[in-house]
Structure 1
Amino acid sequence: MINGKTVNKQPIDVAIKDKQIIAIDKNLSKINAMKTIDLESKYFISPGWIDDHTHCYEKLTLYFDDPDEDGYKTGVTTVIDAGSTGANNIGDFYNITRSKITNVLAMINVSKTGILDQDELGNLKTIDSNLLYKIFDKYKDFIVGIKVRESHSVVIDNNVKPLIAGKKIQKELGNPPLMVHIGANPPELQDVLSLMEEKDILTHAYNGKINGILDKEGNVQNFVWQAYQRGVIFDVGHGTDSFNFNTAKVAKEVGLNPKSISTDIYNRNRIQGPVYDMATTLEKMIYLGYSLSEVIKMVTEAPANNFNLRSKGHLQVGYDGDLTIFSVSNGEKVLTDSNGNQKKATTLINPQLVVIGGQIYKIGGN
């Protein structure tokens, strides 16, 4: 890859061999490559985008998709499925993903059923810690964390008991990443956050729900600040129902910024919106005032750090040969949040190519 530019608009060439980055410089003209792609100084090169909250197990009926539709076809080189599957079915999910172009990883749902039904944690008997430990070890190169969904439609009358169980499992497994979904109450957000520790990930953090980060006066609640300051990771997790322009705007104004940007994408909100793809989600964050370098870091370095993906997320020699090549242009596009509020974007992000393990794929086809 020659004549690209970084998000800081510096010239960059990248050489890849045997699925790894072997050289990076402003000019690699001395390298004799088998294939060279000249970006003609038109396009940005970043580490491959990572979406750390997707739902892409194709056999479900509620939240499902093809990982490649959420992944390389939209400029994302790695997707992490956020708990669609549990100990009963994550092995099948693993087998399916081996034929995909996109890198696919998964969080295991604390419920052994995964999201077969909306209320997978309405019955605490679905939490089988011994089975989870066994499956976690069997698929340790695929499972990168644990997922607990803590909203009323999921836990019914169990409040934060599933999260308490999830935290115990996390400790027993040596503290892998733990992502917690929030939504309608009960459980109360304050009770959920009180159980979360440094490096735990709160997804759907910027939703517009009553049980959200803002109080009735529209200010960030004190207990939210306390969690943020002790190192709980705030993740966007846009989704069908979980991103609100005003909430995200207020949070940015006071410095409660997300560490990572994810889409919570699946078949319906990819096709019908309001998510569509990662680029659209990044456009929303840029509309709110985040810089290009900030949002790209939130979909590369940050999720790689969140989930201990030690060979991804950076343009560095020795890292995986995963790249996203994209353009940034001026234009107009209507952006819609999860509550139907619309804004007009003027900065548009257009993925052009991805490189996954050194293989090049054009957006829209091979």
Structure 2
Amino acid sequence: MFDLILRRARLCDEQLVDIAIQHGKIAAVGEVSGPAQQERDLAGRYYVSAGWIDSHVHCYPKSPIYHDEADTIGMAQGVTTVVDAGSTGADDIDDFYQLTRSATTEVRALINISRTGIVTQNELADMAQIDGDAVVQAVKRRPDFIVGLKARMSSSVVGENGIQPLVRAKAIQQAAGNLPLMVHIGNNPPVLEEIADLLTSGDIITHCFNGKPNRILSPQGELKAAVKNAIARGVKLDIGHGGASFSFEVARQAIAQGILPDTISSDIYCRNRINGPVHSLAHVMSKFFSVGMTLPQIIECVTVNAATGLRLAGKGRLTAGYDADLTIFTVKEEARPFVDAEGEQVLGQQHILPQAVVIAGHWHLTDEGKANHVFDL
């Protein structure tokens, strides 16, 4: 007997399927027969995808700058897995791990190469804070929690150190088993070309569509050669919207040239969740309808691409044997304003509304689902 069957779930390609879940795993997708302890008939009215993965959040609740609660930005907003992007370094990663054990949302972390993590805005201004041995030991202690490394390479973070923190990060990455390295780009120095030249296959550029002068596009709107070469080497592009790092103009120009993000992430924390312009991962995802992306492309960026990029085994696909993490959502056709980090407002015509999630085989309503009473039996 199955634990749960979702009947007539609509996939992003508009196909209707049944999805059976047993023992926290997806047991079958397609036409499913047989009894279940619980059945929910979605009647073709609700989309279902693999559980959304937000690959750039800040949810260490003790962080003095960027903090939030995992379930507030995760389960409540249709996200089944969140990956904290460098809020903690070696000093606090174990505390962060323990705090997240009570969350329903699955939480993973990118460890900051600075021991202190982001307790100040300039954590890489003092090279003495970069302790490679401490990072390696933390990865050994928490191999299932720490899925990568994080280095913030903008002028306000590195101070007078220029490119040197990234040189150290690459050495630490090798010592730590070649985990993915996420690199934040922003104002220079260092210039983006210096950063991109050091990145190798599997590394991730986050804030890839920021509107700052140190952006991925030249003043003529062309992809900078160093970034083009990095992408050819297998470097990935992540959105990391945040409060200052997403431009509709850059996104439009890039996507029109076929330069699509590999992952769409929010860079969410309490302030940009409450006050905007982020609000939620679904809100960020919805903005990409307005810059030329389709629903299947958007969903790939928060499922299979995110899982592949951060090597999250068993996640990101609606396939038998994978973790029973699902997001149930609707797409509402309605004019709605969206604002980027530069203040540009776009009138979007579609927005994605998560109604429920299944996490490790268990059904939970999102805030949207509770408000709309959509699954009251």
TM class by shorter chain equals over 0.9
- How far 1:233 sits from its partner (Å)? 0.3
Secondary structure of the structure 2 residue equivalent to 1:343: strand
Match of 2:140 among 114, 137, 158: 137
Is 1:189 matched up with 2:217?
A: no
In structure 1, the residue matched to 2:75 is: 72
For structure 1, the residue ranges without an aligned partner over 5 or more in a row are none
Residues paired across the two proteins, number? 364
In structure 2, the residue matched to 1:358 is: 361
Is 1:32 matched up with 2:51?
A: no
The 5-angstrom pairing of residues 105-116 of structure 1 reads 105-116=108-119
Instruction: Output the amino acid matched with 1:360.
Output: W
Match of 2:14 among 9, 12, 21: 9
In 2: Cα distance, 1:154 partner to 1:347 partner:
37
In 2: Cα distance, 1:217 partner to 1:44 partner:
40
Secondary structure of the structure 1 residue equivalent to 2:276: coil
The 5-angstrom pairing of residues 79-228 of structure 1 reads 79-228=82-231
Is 1:319 matched up with 2:359?
A: no
In 1: Cα distance, 2:96 partner to 2:291 partner:
36
Percent identity, please: 44
In structure 1, the residue matched to 2:375 is: none
Secondary structure of the structure 2 residue equivalent to 1:349: strand
Is 1:338 matched up with 2:370?
A: no
In structure 2, the residue matched to 1:54 is: 57
- How far 1:217 sits from its partner (Å)? 2.5
Secondary structure of the structure 1 residue equivalent to 2:140: helix
Report the TM-score when normalising by structure 1. 0.98
In 2: Cα distance, 1:175 partner to 1:238 partner:
26
In 1: Cα distance, 2:301 partner to 2:366 partner:
21
In 1: Cα distance, 2:79 partner to 2:87 partner:
19
In 2: Cα distance, 1:128 partner to 1:225 partner:
31
Give the aligned CA root-mean-square deviation in angstroms. Answer: 1.0
Match of 1:231 among 228, 231, 234: 234
In structure 1, the residue matched to 2:272 is: 269
In 1: Cα distance, 2:91 partner to 2:176 partner:
18
Instruction: Output the amino acid matched with 1:325.
Output: I
In 1: Cα distance, 2:111 partner to 2:90 partner:
7
In 2: Cα distance, 1:56 partner to 1:266 partner:
7
In 1: Cα distance, 2:224 partner to 2:154 partner:
19
Report the TM-score when normalising by structure 2. 0.95
In structure 1, the residue matched to 2:331 is: 328
- How far 1:253 sits from its partner (Å)? 1.0
Secondary structure of the structure 2 residue equivalent to 1:155: helix
For structure 2, the residue ranges without an aligned partner over 5 or more in a row are 1-5, 371-377
In 1: Cα distance, 2:321 partner to 2:217 partner:
43
Deviations 1:131-163 (A, max 9, x none): 111111001110000000000111001111111
In structure 2, the residue matched to 1:20 is: 25
Secondary structure of the structure 1 residue equivalent to 2:37: coil
Conserved 8 A contact 2:256-2:292: no
Instruction: Output the amino acid matched with 1:201.
Output: I
